[in-house]
Structure 1
Amino acid sequence: MYFLWYLLIGLVAGWIANLIMKGSGSGLLINLIVGLVGGLLGGWLVSLFGWVPTGTIGTLIASVIGAVVLLWIVSLFTRHKTVKNS
C-alpha cells in the first residue's frame, strides 16, 4: 500500500515541479519519474539543513523541492531552441 502512496506523491510532486519550472507538459510517466527521483534528491537536500520531512505534506514539499532542483539541473545541460526573428 505504501508503494502506491509513494507513486502518487511522486506523480503530484513531478506535476507541481513541472508547473513551477514552466515545463511543456512532459506527460504522466516523465512526471512520475521526475517526482520519484526528486523525492530522493529532496529528502537528501532538506536533511542537509537538518529537516526530516514527516507526514504526507512534508514528504510532498521535500519531493517538490527535489524535483524542481532536478529539473533545473537538467535545464542546464539541455539545449534550448531559440527563435530568430527575421
Structure 2
Amino acid sequence: MVKLAEQYGLHRNTVEAHLRRAGVAKRPMVKMTPRLVERATELYIEEFWTTARIGKEIGVDASTVAKALKRAGVKMRPPVAEHGDSA
C-alpha cells in the first residue's frame, strides 16, 4: 500500500480504503516475534545476510528487520550498495 500511495500520490489510508472497497484482501501482517528476531539475528550476524534478504525470507520489510535488530541490541553494519550501482 505504501508503494501504491507513493506511485499515485495518495495517502496510504486512501489506498487501503480503495482496495477494501474493491474487495482486495490484505496480506496477513507478520509480527516480529521473539523467535523471528532470534532467527533474523542469526542470519544477520552469523550468515552476514542483509536486512533486505532477511525481510524477503520472513515476509517483512527490510526496515522492520532493521528496527527489530536494533531493539535487540544488534550492532548494525554500514549499508551496502545495491546490485547495479557503480562503484
Task: Name the TM-score class by shorter chain.
Answer: under 0.3
In the superposition, the TM-score normalised over structure 1's length comes to 0.25
Structure possessing the higher relative contact order (Cα contacts under 8 Å, 6 or more residues apart): 1
Q: Which has the larger radius of gyration?
A: 2
